Structure formats: structure tokens, C-alpha cells
Structure 1
Amino acid sequence: MTEAVRFPDVMLLAAGLGTRLRPVTETLPKPLVPVAGIPLIERIMANARAEGAKRFVANAHYRADQLLAHFGGLLKVSREDDLLGTGGGVKRALPMLASDPILVMNTDAFWPSGSDAPLARMLARYAGPHDIVLLCVHPRNATGFARSHDFCLSPRGDVTRDYGAPVIYAGVALLGKALFDDTPDGAFPLTDLFEAALERETLFGVVLDAPWFHVGDAAALAETERLLAP
């Protein structure tokens, strides 16, 4: 990618309720919970910045002021008085996102900084406004994920329900703004858009070639920190 091509703006999904991953973090919104000393949201932003991301927007609901204070105004925040879900939260923030397509990233899953550069492969796979490209991970490389898999990935990179290798959705999606045109104005999940793309055969996947950590509970946090320890 040349400098003349704008790297997509990044939407950080950070509006979940508070977490009790461990007692010291009971008063923190989950994206600010430290993992081996670095807040989750900063680890995800580092993954994106390493490949050229410069503009970030995060949605916030629980303790939104803490998120704003942590970044000192360097992060745009879309406040949600009522939770809008992953899809509704992105739709609410679209006016704050200048690029098209955009990258949407969960703030509870990451890969070690510098271990892979999958976003460039996602951008190369994206061909037009009807496409959605998901970052996927093989279950053998995943920590902290309870289900066996989310989808299957064909040898050509098509996401399917039952053909190809079982993969987990790794919490990063590249998609165009027009896909939100016919969606509800209230709460809805981003997976509704994934399912629609799956039906029209425009849902694609790129595999992460690195360990992937999903920090969803105290056990996953402890295991992640153990694996990241020097």
C-alpha cells in the first residue's frame, strides 16, 4: 500500500458493560483492563497502528469518561446512552469515520505486536462494497475461546458454514458503509451483516498467522498473561 492510499479508519468496539476480570479492575471498563501491564484497547490499537492505522473511533457506554480521560482527547468517542450492540454501535459512529471501507475491531482480542501483518492481506482481499472480509484464526492458535469454531474457510478464502477448515472469527472485519443502509437505527449485532454476506457469497476470510488471545474472563486473562510472560 502506498502513502497515497488512505488506510481505513478503525472503529473500536468498546461499549460493553464493565468486567470483573480480577478485583483490582472492577471499576474499569473492559477495554482499559491491563493485560501484562498494557490495557486491552492499547494492544488492539497497536496491532492496527503497526500496519498504518492513524484514525480511531471508539464507542463507549460503561464508564465512557474513563475512556476519554485515558486517551486525553486523542481518541474520538461515540457515546451510547443505551447499548446499541456491535452493529448499531458502528452505525451510530459512521459520521465520525471518514474512510470507506472501515475496519471494525473488537477490544477484547489481540495478537502479539509484530507477530503478523494480517490487515494488509484483508485490504488486498477486499474487492468492493458488497464484500466483507473477516480476520480468522485456526483454533490451534487461539487462547480463551470457548466454542470449537465460528465458520469454515475454503481454500479460496470464502467463508462458509461447512466447507473448508474450521476457523474462529478473530474480531476484525473490513466492510463498506453502504452495508448499513438498510439496517435498523437501534440495536443490532454486526453478525447480521456477516450472515447476509454469507448468503450472497461475499463473505471472505484471511487467516492470522500468529497466536491470538481472547480475554473474555478471569481464566482467559490469567492464561494470556502466563503465555505472554518472558
Structure 2
Amino acid sequence: MTIENAMVLAAGLGTRMRPITDTMPKPLVPIAGKPLIDYALDALKEAGVRRTVVNVHYLAEQMEAHLSAYSGLEILISDERAALLNSGGGLVKGLKLLPEGLVYVMNADLFWAGDGKGETGNLARLARFFDPATMDMAMLLAPTEKATGHDGGDDFRLVEGGELIRAREATAETGGQGVIYAGAIVLNSRLFADAPEGAFNLNIYFDRAIKAGRLKGLLLDGDWATAGTPEAIAPAEAVVLRHRASA
């Protein structure tokens, strides 16, 4: 199954990346010679996506200039200059620019290296994993031992059957594996038919799906990285360069 539409969430302020982001939006910060957002766009293109929405807010003109020069994808801009809409509100606004149906949703500042190409890549694997009969969302996950730059604990526990629960709600009886959200989801945009107006956090829908047993996850191939602060750039670049050298 090839998913042809996507949205990349890229409208954040990048405050933890200052002073670099005093003059540059975080999605354009280069990691091993490539802007952060291009890791997401390249992965989407490799997976067969043809059209993606990107939301913009901070230093939006720089984002638009970069995206207009990116080749191989039709890129639509969801403009949040007037007001940030948080992850959920921004997603809902952006999805209105796309046909209703299956989409990838990606974060602009989380990426991975070392997976396969085409049908063996992480996004293609995630699309095959998604089952609308049993899932509201399928989430790509990173095992803690394959994560670079993450300065918090586990986000979820991946338990038997692929279901996810919040790590903070896990008990000794829960079992499963501690994992980190890797920055990619597959969902059907109809999920947001009842979405509230304005700004809201996407965690509302994560928690709703968890309660219904319909948030499930897939472990990524390769290594995952995030660059949330200037100090995290070098370790993230090391991940990329290691995989480039072995390719």
C-alpha cells in the first residue's frame, strides 16, 4: 500500500536550539550537511508520497523559500503566521489542504538513518503495518538503545499485540518494551472529523486511541536521532555519518 499524501509539522519556535534559531527556523538547521526537514521530506519521497503539507510560523519566509526549491514533492504551505495552533490544531488545519484518506504525519526535527530503501524503508513498513480495522493510528517507535539526543525517559511501553500505553502509566504487571516516539504516524484523516477548533495538542488523540486499544506501534529499522539543542547536533551528525560510511 502506497500512501501518497503527508503532513510535516514544522511550525515550532525552536527555543531550545537558540542561539542558532535566533536567525534560522529549527527545521532548516543543518545536520551533516542537510537541513533537518529534508530528512523527513526525503523519507516521504522514498516511500512514494507525492504531496505533502508543511505548516510554517517562525521565520516563515525562510521556510517557504527552502520548500519552494525542494524537488520531487508537491509541497503545500499551511500558514500559521497569525497564531500557532499546537500539534493537533496545526495538523487539522493542514489536513484540510489534502484529500481525505490515509496520510503520513511527521515531525520536522526527528529523523533516523540506516533503514532500507523503498518497500523496506521505515515509512513503507509503517504503511503496511497500519490496519484501520484495529488501529486509529500506527506509530513508528525507537528503542531507547537506538536513540541519540533524547534527554527524557521512555514515551510509551510497547506491549503484547503491538498496543501502546503511556510509560508513566505502566506498572510492574504491564511488561513490554520502553520506546520513544520516532516522529512518524500513519492515520486516516477522517479521525479528526470531531476535532476542536483552534489550538490543541495531538496527545488528546493519542490518549483516546490508547484508551480504546487502537494506538499501535512498529519498531524502526536503523538508528534514531533528534537535535533539540546545539549540543545535540554533533551526536546526531555522528549517527548520520556512520550510516553514510557503511552504505
Same fold (TM over 0.5): yes
Partner residue in 2 for 1:143: 148
Deviations 1:162-210 (A, max 9, x none): 3311110111111122221222111111111110000011000010021
Letter in 1 for 2:179: V
Question: Identical aligned pairs, as a percentage?
Answer: 39
CA RMSD after TM alignment = 2.0
Moved more, 213-222 or 118-127: 118-127
User: How many angstroms apart in 1 are the aligned matches of 2:18 and 2:234?
Assistant: 9
For residues 54-69 of structure 1, the aligned pairs below 5 Å read 54-69=50-65
Q: Distance in 2 between matches of 1:228 and 1:176?
A: 31
- The partner residue of 1:153 within 141, 151, 158 is 158
Gaps of 5+ in 1: none
Q: CA deviation at 1:22?
A: 6.5
Deviations 1:49-100 (A, max 9, x none): 1221121110000011111111227521100110000100011112211251
Q: Distance in 2 between matches of 1:156 and 1:174?
A: 18
Contact 1:8 1:99 in 2 (8 A): no
Change beyond 3 A, Cα 1:94–1:211 = same
Counterpart check, 1:44 vs 2:40 = yes
Q: TM-score, normalised by structure 1?
A: 0.90
Tell me, yes or no, if structure 1 residue 77 matches structure 2 residue 77: yes
Which letter maps to 1:200? A
| Amino acid across the alignment from 1:224 | A
1:105 aligns with 2:106: yes
Matched, 1:181 2:193: yes
Deviations along 1:132-183, one digit per CA (max 9) or x if unpaired, are: 1110110000011112201111232111233311110111111122221222
Q: Which whole-Å CA distance do the structure 1 matches of 2:14 and 2:232 have between them?
A: 16
Query: Secondary structure of 2:47's match?
Result: coil
Aligned counterparts of 1:176 and 1:155: Cα–Cα separation in 2: 24
Matched, 1:169 2:181: yes
| Cα-to-partner distance string for 1:14-58 (whole Å, 9 max, x where unaligned) | 000145746565311111111111000111111221221121110
Q: Alignment partner for residue 49 of structure 2, among 49, 53, 67?
A: 53
Partner of 2:137: 132
Structure having the higher helix fraction is 2
1:193/1:24 CA distance change after superposition, 3 Å: closer
Q: Confirm whether residue 121 of structure 1 aligns to residue 125 of structure 2.
A: yes
Deviation at 1:122, TM superposition (A): 1.8
Stretches of structure 2 lacking an aligned partner (at least 5 in a row): none
Q: Is the contact between residue 12 and residue 57 of structure 1 (CA under 8 Å) also seen in structure 2?
A: yes
| Paired residue secondary structure (2:185) | strand
